[in-house]
Chain A
Amino acid sequence: MINKRRSTAVLLGLLAATALIGPPPAAADDETTEPPAEPPKVELVLDVSGSMRARDIDGRSRISVAQQAFNEVVDALPDETQLGIRVLGATYRGKDKKKGCQDTQQIVPVGPVDRAGAKAAVATLRPTGFTPVGLALRSAAQDLGTGATARRIVLITDGEDTCAPPDPCEVARELAAQGTRLVVDTLGLAPDEKVRRQLLCIAGATGGTYTAAQSVDELSGRIKQLVDRARDTYTATPTVVGGAAECPNAPLLAPGVYTDREAFSEHRWYRVPVREGQELRASVSVGLDRPVNPDYGVLLRATDPDGRELVRGVDAGSGRTDVISAGLRWSAAEDAATPTPEPGGTRPARTVCLVVSNAFAPRPGTEATPGMPVELTVDVVAASPAPDGPDLGRGWTLLLLLTLAGLLTGLVAGLLTRWWVATWREN
C-alpha cells in the first residue's frame, strides 16, 4: 500500500511538471546598438512678426506667452540635447517687403545650451516685421547641418507666410526630399484656417505633427514633449537608397532599414541575397505626405530574377492615415530541386528581387515630384522548417482517455481471468 501511494505521488508530480514546463520563450533580441557620437539636435523657430502683439491668449500677448514657454523649455532641457533658436520678422521695421522677407536670424546657435544666455536672448524679442516662414525653415535646416541622425525643427507661428515664394510647404517638401532626415513639428498660436492649412502641410510633408496651442501650459508642455521626443528617437535613421526600374541593375541590399522615394504608379526594384536555409523578411511603408484620393494601396512582391513571383505582401486602406505598410516572409521550399552541393561544402547565395508598387491617386493640383517617402526593412534570418510532428498526442484529455482505457482493459482482463480460473477449476 505504501508503495502504491508513493507511486501515485510520483505520477502526480510528473504530471504537474509536464504542465508547468512549456517550451522556452522566444529568445529576446537584446543586442544593444552602440550609441552614436552625435547628440540630438533641435532648433526652435519662433515667429516674431507684428501679429504676435495680439492679446488673445488668456488676455496676454502671443509673444509673452511664447517667451514664457521658451523659458520653461530651456529650464527643462535635457543636458545632452543641443538646442538652437531662430527668429523671423524680429528686426526689420520698414514697409519694404523685399527687405522684410529676408529678416531671419539665429539668436542661439545649435550647441550645448547656455541657459541664461538663451533666456536673455528670448527676453529682448519684440514683435516687429514680416513672416518669412519658408526662408526661416530653409535656414534652420542649414543651422542643424547634415549628419547620420534625425534633426527636429519646432516651428511656432501665429500667422501665415507673407513672403511666398518660397512657399513654406514647398520648402518643407524640398527639405524632406534632400535625404537628410528632418522632421518639422508645427505649433499654431491661436491659428486661423489659413495658418492651420499651411502648418498641416508643412508637418505632413516632413512626418511631423501639428498642434493648436491656446494657453501657456499647452504651448510649453508640447514643446517639452517634442524636445524629449527628439532625444528619444533621433538615432532611428535609415540609409538612403535609390531603387531601380528593373531587377538586374537594382541595388543589392544587406539586412537593415532603407529609405527611398517613389512617385505615383512607379515600380522600384531592389535585390537581396538569400542563402539556402535562410528566410527573407521584408516590409515596406509608403508615407502619405501629400493630399491623395481617399482609397489607396501598396504592394510588395518578391520575385525570382526571371520574374516568377515568389510571395507578395499587400495592404489597402481608406481615409486619413500617415503610412500604409505591407510585409512578407519567404524561404526556399525544402524539397525543391536543390542544386547539387558545391565541392568543398559551400552554399551559394541566391538573389531575390523585391519590387514596391503603390496605388495612390493624386488629387487635382497634387505635386507628383518628388515621390512619396518609402521605408524598406530587409532582414535575412535562419529559416524555420515545417515541423514533422510525430503521430502522438498532447493534453489533459489524452491522459484521461489513456488512463480510462487502461482501467477498462485491466478490469476486462481481471474479469476474464476470474471467469477462466473459475471454469478451469470446475472442470
Chain B
Amino acid sequence: MRTLLRSAAALVAAGLTLAPAAASADPTPTPSPGAATVTKAGTSFLTATAITAGQPVRVGASTGDHLYWAFPAEAGQIHQLTATVTFPKGRSGASTWTVDVFDGLRRRQACTAGAQTPTVDAAATSVTLGCTLRRVRPWAEPWSADPLPGTYYVRLSVVDLPEPDLGLPIDVDLLVGADGEGGASGDDGELAAPLVPNSRAGTVLTTEPTAEPVAEEETSLTVWLPEPGSRWVWTTVGGVLAAVAGVVGFALTRRPRRP
C-alpha cells in the first residue's frame, strides 16, 4: 500500500516538475558545440546562404550590403536571433540597422522581443540586434499569416545612414537559436508541404492543362492508428491512469488487514 502511495506521489511530482521545464525559454541563443562557423552571406532571397539553428555566422561585408541567410524551422519551435555588427573604422554620423525575418513565402515575420531596429551614434564601435520570433505552428489556414514550418530568411541591412559611410567595411556576427524540440504543441493539423520555396527556374506553359486522372489512394492499417503524441494517445493514457487511481482510492478505504 505504502509503495503504491509513494509511486503515485512520485508520478504527480514528476508531472509537476516536467510541465514548467518545457515552457521556460532561454533568451540568448548559444552556439551548438561542434558547429562549423559559416563565413558567407547571400545578397538576395534566391542566393541566401543556408544555415541551421546553433550555427554561428561570421562574415566581413560592406556598409550598405543587404545580407541574406536562410534557416529551417519546425513546428513548435521558437527562434531567437542575435546579430552584432562591428565597425573597424570611424563613421561620419549615426546609423540605423535592421534585421528582418521572412518566411518561405517572403512574408514579413513579427518579432515578439529584441532590438530589431537599433540606432547607434558615430562614436559606437558595434551594434547588437536581436529578434525573437513567434512559435511556429504546425498548421494554419491559407488566409492567415501565422508562422509555419519551412524555410525562414534573415536579412540584415542598414536602413538609414549618412551617404559617405556607404561602402565602409563591417564585420557581422549572427547566431540563430531554436527553443522547443518541435512536435507537441497545443495545435492540431499538419502542413502537407513545409513552406520551402521552389527555387528552380520556371517554365511558361503553352497549352491549357487538361484534366488529370485522380490517383487511387492507398489505404493501409497505419492510417487508422493514431499518431504518437496525439490527443487520442494522451486521453487514453489518462483514462488508464484514472482507472488505476480509482482502484487505489477504493483500496485505501479498506480496513487494514490484521496480521
Q: Mark B187-221, 1 if CB is under 8 A from A, else 0.
A: 01111111111111111111011111110000000
Given contacts A222-B62, A395-B234, contact A381 B245 (CB under 8 A): no
Q: Report how far A413 CA is from B46 CA in the complex, Å.
A: 67
| B138 contacts the other chain (CB 8 A) | yes
Q: Are B203 and A239 in contact (CB under 8 A)?
A: yes
A372-399 interface (Cβ within 8 A of B)? 375, 377-379, 381-384, 386-387, 389-390, 392-399
> Could you list some 19 contacts between A and B, CB below 8 A?
A12-B7, A22-B229, A25-B183, A26-B191, A29-B196, A211-B169, A236-B47, A253-B202, A321-B157, A330-B142, A346-B212, A377-B199, A381-B193, A382-B192, A389-B189, A394-B184, A394-B229, A407-B248, A413-B246
Q: Are A21 and B200 in contact (CB under 8 A)?
A: no
Instruction: Pick from B43, B142, B212: contact of A329, CB below 8 A.
Output: B142
Q: What are the residues of chain B within 8 A of A207 when measuring CB–CB?
A: 43-44
Q: A residues within 8 Å of B by Cβ?
A: 1, 4-5, 7-8, 11-12, 14-15, 17-19, 21-23, 25-29, 33, 148, 188, 191, 193, 196, 199-200, 207, 209-212, 218, 221-222, 225, 228-229, 232-233, 236-239, 241, 251-258, 273, 275, 279, 281-285, 311, 313, 315, 319-323, 325-331, 341-342, 344-349, 375, 377-379, 381-384, 386-387, 389-390, 392-415, 417-418
Q: Mark B46-69, 1 if CB is under 8 A from A, else 0.
A: 110100000000001010111000
Q: Are A403 and B245 in contact (CB under 8 A)?
A: yes
| B25 contacts the other chain (CB 8 A) | no
Q: Identify the closest chain A residue to B72 (Cβ).
A: A28
Instruction: Pick from A229, A315, A341, A393: contact of B238, CB below 8 A.
Output: A393
Beyond the given A25-B74, A209-B65, A327-B106, please list 6 additional residue pairs across the A-B interface where CB-CB is below 8 A.
A236-B44, A239-B204, A256-B201, A273-B205, A320-B160, A377-B106
Q: What are the residues of chain A within 8 A of B192 when measuring CB–CB?
A: 279, 381-384
Q: Report how far A257 CA is from B200 CA in the complex, Å.
A: 6
Q: Are A414 and B251 in contact (CB under 8 A)?
A: yes
Given contacts A313-B105, A403-B238, contact A209 B64 (CB under 8 A): yes
Instruction: Pick from A188, A315, A386, A409: contact of B108, CB below 8 A.
Output: A315
Q: What are the residues of chain A within 8 A of B247 when measuring CB–CB?
A: 410
Q: Report how far A284 CA is from B139 CA in the complex, Å.
A: 23
Q: Identify the closest chain B residue to A341 (Cβ).
A: B214
Q: Are B105 and A281 in contact (CB under 8 A)?
A: yes
Q: Are B105 and A328 in contact (CB under 8 A)?
A: yes
Q: What are the residues of chain A within 8 A of B149 when measuring CB–CB?
A: 26
Q: What are the residues of chain A within 8 A of B11 when measuring CB–CB?
A: 8, 11-12, 15, 403
Q: Report how far A384 CA is from B194 CA in the complex, Å.
A: 10
Q: Report how far A67 CA is from B234 CA in the complex, Å.
A: 70
Q: What are the residues of chain A within 8 A of B167 when measuring CB–CB?
A: 188, 191, 196, 199-200, 210-212
Q: Are B201 and A237 in contact (CB under 8 A)?
A: yes
Q: Mark B214-240, 1 if CB is under 8 A from A, else 0.
A: 100000000000011111111101111
Q: Are B183 and A319 in contact (CB under 8 A)?
A: no
Q: Report how far A284 CA is from B184 CA in the complex, Å.
A: 33
Q: Mark B239-254, 1 if CB is under 8 A from A, else 0.
A: 1111111111111111
Instruction: Pick from B42, B138, B203, B246: contact of A409, CB below 8 A.
Output: B246
CB distance from A412 to the nearest CB of B (A): 8
Most-contacted residue by chain B among A210, A283, A401 (CB, 10 A): A283
Given contacts A273-B209, A381-B192, contact A313 B244 (CB under 8 A): no
Q: Are A22 and B106 in contact (CB under 8 A)?
A: no
Q: Are A386 and B189 in contact (CB under 8 A)?
A: yes
Q: Identify the closest chain B residue to A401 (Cβ).
A: B238
Q: Report how far A403 CA is from B239 CA in the complex, Å.
A: 8
Given contacts A407-B246, A410-B252, contact A236 B15 (CB under 8 A): no
Q: Are B202 and A378 in contact (CB under 8 A)?
A: yes
Q: Are B238 and A384 in contact (CB under 8 A)?
A: no
Q: Report how far A379 CA is from B106 CA in the complex, Å.
A: 13
CB distance from A220 to the nearest CB of B (A): 12
Q: Report how far A228 CA is from B39 CA in the complex, Å.
A: 11
Q: Report how far A405 CA is from B15 CA in the complex, Å.
A: 16
Q: Report how far A182 CA is from B227 CA in the complex, Å.
A: 50
Q: What are the residues of chain B within 8 A of A232 when measuring CB–CB?
A: 40, 47, 49
Q: What are the residues of chain A within 8 A of B124 when measuring CB–CB?
A: none
8 tightest A-B CB contacts, nearest first: A22-B183, A256-B202, A410-B249, A327-B105, A414-B253, A406-B242, A387-B189, A212-B167
